[in-house]
Amino acid sequence: MFRSIGNAVVRHPVWTIVAWLIAAVAIVATAPSLPSNSDESSFLPKSYESIKAADLQQKAFPSAFTPSAIALYQRTDGAKMTAADKQDIARITTELGKKHIDQVQKVVPGPPSKDGRYGLTLVQMDSKNAGQPKQADAAKVLRDDIKQLAKGTHLEVKLGGSAAQALDQQDSSKRGQALIGIGTFAIILVTLLIIFRAPILAVLPLILIGLVSAIANGLISYATKLFDLQANSSISSILIVVLFGVGTDYFLFLMFRYRERLRAGDEPKQAMINAVDRVGEAIASAAGAVIIAFLALVLSTLGFLKQMGPALAIAVGATLIAGLTLIPAVVSLIGPKVFWPSKSWQREPDNARFAALGRGVRRRPALTAVASGLVLVVLSLGMLGYKATFDLASGSMPKTKESMVVQDEMQKAYSAGAAAPTDVYLSSTDGKPLDKAAFDAYAKKLGAVDGVADARMTQVAKDGTTADFTVTLKYEASTDKAIEAVGKVRDVAHSGAPDGTEALVGGMSSIYKDINAAVNHDYRTVFPVAAVLIMIILGLLLRSVVAPWYLMASVGLGFGATLGATVWIFQGGQGHSGLMFMLPVIMYLFVVAIGTDYNILMIARLREEAREGREPREAAGLALRHAGPTVAAAGFILAATFATMMLAGNSLLTEMGFAVSFGIVVAAFVMAMFFTPSLTALIGHAAWWPGHGDRAHEPALGGGDGSHGSGPVPGQDRDAVASEPSGHRE
């Protein structure tokens, strides 16, 4: 099949390129715009208690005041507020309300801090548009207007709250995307120049993958609209890295084999056909593993991950098709001039370092397997200290952003849980009005819960069937202690509800509690489903039942080592309270799926060498010698590309960038280089049971050239020569 694809695109390169250009123009021109949502509650399905509580609040208390923006005042000299300062705050609050800013429904003064140094203005916005870009726009207007109104006073004012956080997250995301984009381009360009010493080859993947990126983004927009998925600004940053990182991987897989075939004496067009034929299956299998792993995120209960899965799968799918059609067509059209001005492509390099590594694996496979496995096990011990954090807002932007400064200062000036109180909604089950005589006793039960600072009944619905009890926790909403406390509040709220009533607990801590439960659900479903599907792909590729087991076991060790190292770096070294809650899921999929690429490439080359009649240990050594440079180059570029996410300046992308880049380094330079080939050499022919995929093919009639049983087809005999052109053995 892959030879047929290679034949078609190499024989008709111009038509292939034109078809891609037409598709790009049509898709980009007609694709819908992609909205973004930063509302944490939108990540959860409606079956969770926190979402049920939010729906009940809108029905029972449609005019309930929930601030979307909070203006925090303090004197410029840091002293206590004077009477004049308080009058200025009242004036600013009144004038701000008169401006009738879009989305703003109510502007009211907030309570002063206990130490008298801070004052508040609370702004309510339309809850139906929570997390939408229009509220971020409203926050920008609010921030500008309130600073203008405070001019000429002794007050310094900062705007925080969810709407302001969405605005700052948006700005941070744009800056992060720009830095990631520039960093990605620079790394790919410089690395390819060093590898090939050919400017055309260095620039070509950036141009071609840029075209694929435009098409992929358009297809993602269509899918988002069609399947009503949640969009999130962080996905754009990840998409840049995936498209250019994975795209460059497939480009390198193809170009290294194309160069090898030219050195073997193939005519240029035939060399590309043979390259697609030889490496096409490995590229397709590698991409298939990545796509399957990403699509497994559809099983997630979190809207953010549900959106990310199909989006990344579409991106990799488009990159796969480009790797098998667009890239071969363009390169075959240019021919060997693509390597200009370098002439190193004309001669076979010694690959002395990789040849030495190959000899080491061949001679001491047991020692290599134990040593590399031990490194992975030791790093995996860090997993034991893993903790999750659920503060998406502070995780998605730097602490220096204004809304983050407001959040930190409010925690110091007010009760830690005051900025995001927990609400317990008590409703009658028979539709009759609630018995108000039971309210005090119920509030006392809630107030007595460990971790609760205060609990009181604040309002009753007009029909008397629902009451709102505001519970202020002692801890900031996203902390582990707050999530633990809200779990206790739920237990007491449910068990202590008077006869004929039921209770629902809402608020940010309740949402985080449910997100935690959703993530645990995903660990139990997404992980095993992705692993099983990847194993099936490996089994089909290798025609083996044995190999997929130890390949996935090695990738699992790689995941453990990556998570362990990330815990040690960020929790131990940098003092983070925990890692972002979705990091293990994302890391598992990236490290397991993309890391499998290098295992697939190495094991496919090992099988190729074995089919030339070499024994398992010798085949492993030669596979490392010949595939090692490709894996090293691809692994370095992909790891460095993901590392650019650390330039975004927020903890979510910094942690993700480090974890995935470290995982890829482990996958390429530990698993694919040492662990996998040494294990395969140790297991021997049994690794390919029951398919015997490593056995040499019988020569075709009249051939005798090891032509893979394909017969004496013109132009094909040279491709059938062993991958080591001279046929010599070490």
Does residue 208 contact residue 330 with C-beta atoms inside 8 Å?
Answer: yes
pLDDT grade, residue 423 (50/70/90)?
very high
Percentage of residues of the chain with pLDDT beyond 90: 36
Position 167 scores a pLDDT of: 84
The per-residue pLDDT for range 617-666, each reduced to its tens digit, is: 999 999 998 888 889 988 898 888 888 878 766 677 788 889 989 999 99
Looking at the predicted structure, is the pLDDT value of residue 371 above 90? Answer: yes
Looking at the predicted structure, is the pLDDT value of residue 42 above 90? Answer: no
CB atoms within 10 A of CB 136: 22
Structure tokens at 686: 């049994």
Position 727 scores a pLDDT of: 37
Helix or strand run (H / E) with residue 75:
strand 67-75
Alpha-carbon distance values, 8 to 201, 324, 338 (Å): 23, 11, 20
Looking at the predicted structure, is the pLDDT value of residue 474 above 80? Answer: yes
- Between 124-128, 232-236, 443-447, 492-496, the lowest mean confidence (pLDDT) is in 232-236
* Three-state SS letters, 246-308: HHHHHHHHHHHHHHHHHHCCCCHHHHHHHHHHHHHHHHHHHHHHHHHHHHHHHHCCCHHHHHH
- Between 276-290, 566-580, 707-721, the lowest mean confidence (pLDDT) is in 707-721
Q: Which residues contact 161 (CB under 8 A, 6 or more apart)?
A: 67, 68, 69, 70, 123, 139, 403, 406
- Between 424-438, 501-515, 532-546, the lowest mean confidence (pLDDT) is in 532-546
Report d(CA 662, CA 659) in Å as an integer.
5
Position 718 scores a pLDDT of: 35
pLDDT grade, residue 716 (50/70/90)?
very low
Position 85 scores a pLDDT of: 93
Position 487 scores a pLDDT of: 94
Neighbour-count burial for 272-288, b at 16+ CB within 10 Å, e otherwise: bbbbbbbbbebbbbbbb
**Greater pLDDT, 422 or 404:** 422
Position 419 scores a pLDDT of: 67
Q: Which residues contact 653 (CB under 8 A, 6 or more apart)?
A: 176, 180, 234, 237, 396, 645, 646
Q: What is the mean pLDDT of the chain?
A: 84
Position 364 scores a pLDDT of: 92
Mean pLDDT of all residues in 234-257: 81
- Between 84-98, 187-201, 477-491, 645-659, the lowest mean confidence (pLDDT) is in 645-659
Question: What proportions of the chain, in percent to the nearest 5, are helix, strand and coil?
Answer: 65, 10, 25
Looking at the predicted structure, is the pLDDT value of residue 729 above 60? Answer: no
Looking at the predicted structure, is the pLDDT value of residue 215 above 80? Answer: yes
Looking at the predicted structure, is the pLDDT value of residue 709 above 70? Answer: no
Structure tokens at 626: 């010949």
Position 407 scores a pLDDT of: 80
Calculate the CA 704 to chain-centre distance: 50
Q: Which residues contact 562 (CB under 8 A, 6 or more apart)?
A: 379, 587, 591, 659, 660, 662, 663, 666
Mean pLDDT of all residues in 248-252: 89
Does residue 435 contact residue 417 with C-beta atoms inside 8 Å?
Answer: no
Does residue 61 contact residue 53 with C-beta atoms inside 8 Å?
Answer: no
**Greater pLDDT, 349 or 714:** 349
Report d(CA 240, CA 192) in Å as an integer.
18
Does residue 9 contact residue 328 with C-beta atoms inside 8 Å?
Answer: yes
Helix or strand run (H / E) with residue 336:
none
Looking at the predicted structure, is the pLDDT value of residue 303 above 70? Answer: yes
Q: Enter the DSSP assignment of 594.
A: I
> What is the amino acid identity at position 174?
K
Position 411 scores a pLDDT of: 75
- Between 36-45, 327-336, 455-464, 646-655, the lowest mean confidence (pLDDT) is in 36-45
Percentage of residues of the chain with pLDDT beyond 70: 88
Structure tokens at 330: 């363009």
- Between 552-566, 602-616, 643-657, 661-675, the lowest mean confidence (pLDDT) is in 643-657
The per-residue pLDDT for range 57-108, each reduced to its tens digit, is: 888 887 667 788 999 999 999 899 999 999 999 999 999 999 989 888 889 9
DSSP string, 670-693: IIIIIIHHHHHHHHGGGGGTBTTT
Report d(CA 300, CA 297) in Å as an integer.
5
Q: Which residues contact 412 (CB under 8 A, 6 or more apart)?
A: none
Position 697 scores a pLDDT of: 55
Looking at the predicted structure, is the pLDDT value of residue 715 above 70? Answer: no
List, in order of start, the domains of the chain with CATH numbers.
2-30+168-393+514-688 (1.20.1640.10), 40-64+421-506 (3.30.70.1320), 69-160 (3.30.70.1440), 700-725 (no CATH)
Say how many residues make up the chain.
730
Looking at the predicted structure, is the pLDDT value of residue 298 above 90? Answer: no
CA dihedral angle for residue 588, residue 479, residue 48, residue 498, rounded to 10 degrees:
150
- Between 347-361, 523-537, 695-709, the lowest mean confidence (pLDDT) is in 695-709
Strands 579-580 and 388-389: parallel
CB atoms within 10 A of CB 121: 26
Neighbour-count burial for 686-700, b at 16+ CB within 10 Å, e otherwise: ebbeeeebbeeeeeb
Position 311 scores a pLDDT of: 86
Position 554 scores a pLDDT of: 87
DSSP string, 444-512: HHHHTSTTEEEEEEEEE-TTSSEEEEEEEESS-TTSHHHHHHHHHHHHHHHHTPPTTEEEEEESHHHHH
Does residue 507 contact residue 49 with C-beta atoms inside 8 Å?
Answer: no
Mean pLDDT of all residues in 402-425: 81
Report d(CA 499, CA 652) in Å as an integer.
45
